[in-house]
Amino acid sequence: ILNVEQSPQSLHVQEGDSTNFTCSFPSSNFYALHWYRWETAKSPEALFVMTLNGDEKKKGRISATLNTKEGYSYLYIKGSQPEDSATYLCAFDAGYSTLTFGKGTMLLVSP
């Protein structure tokens, strides 16, 4: 079973703070790295699917970077807002048609 680790497990920040999380994954057999946002009582939604080493993707105030050689990805949120409160999941794709998920980072942004 592949090991995908996310840190921190949870995070509590104030509105306006910038924050970042880490996802580490096996550096071999890399195909893609997914980030999902899961708000309470809703479905997880894809943020990014990253495939190339050095890739950086951005969606509004959220961005992600990818280092496939050392096996990690960072997710950054600039100027956190209460609506950013959610669990952020990363998932590793080794090209076997399934994803291996980390345990997630739970973010709470207080007004």
Partner 1 sequence: DGGITQSPKYLFRKEGQNVTLSCEQNLNHDAMYWYRQDPGQGLRLIYYSQIVNDFQKGDIAEGYSVSREKKESFPLTVTSAQKNPTAFYLCASSTPGLATGELFFGEGSRLTVL
Instruction: Show Cβ contacts of residue 70 under 8 Å, excluding neighbours closer than 6 positions.
Output: 27
Contacting residue, 14, 28, 40, 97, with partner 1 by CB under 8 A: 97
* Among residues 88, 93, 107, 109, the one that binds partner 1 under rule CB under 8 A: 93
11 binds partner 1, rule: CB under 8 A:
no
Query: How many residues touch partner 1 (CB under 8 A)?
Result: 26
Kindly state whether residue 58 participates in binding partner 1, applying the rule CB under 8 A: no
Among the listed residues 66, 78, 84, 81, the one whose alpha carbon sits nearest the alpha carbon of residue 30: 66
CA angle 99, 102, 106 (to 5 degrees): 130
Closest distance to partner 1 from the beta carbon of 10 (Å): 11
- Of 27, 53, 81, 98, which one interacts with partner 1 (CB under 8 A)? 98
Token pair 């071999």 in the structure block, residue: 28
Tell me the pairing of strands 105-110 and 10-14: parallel
Q: Nearest approach, Cβ of 93 to partner 1 (angstroms)? A: 5
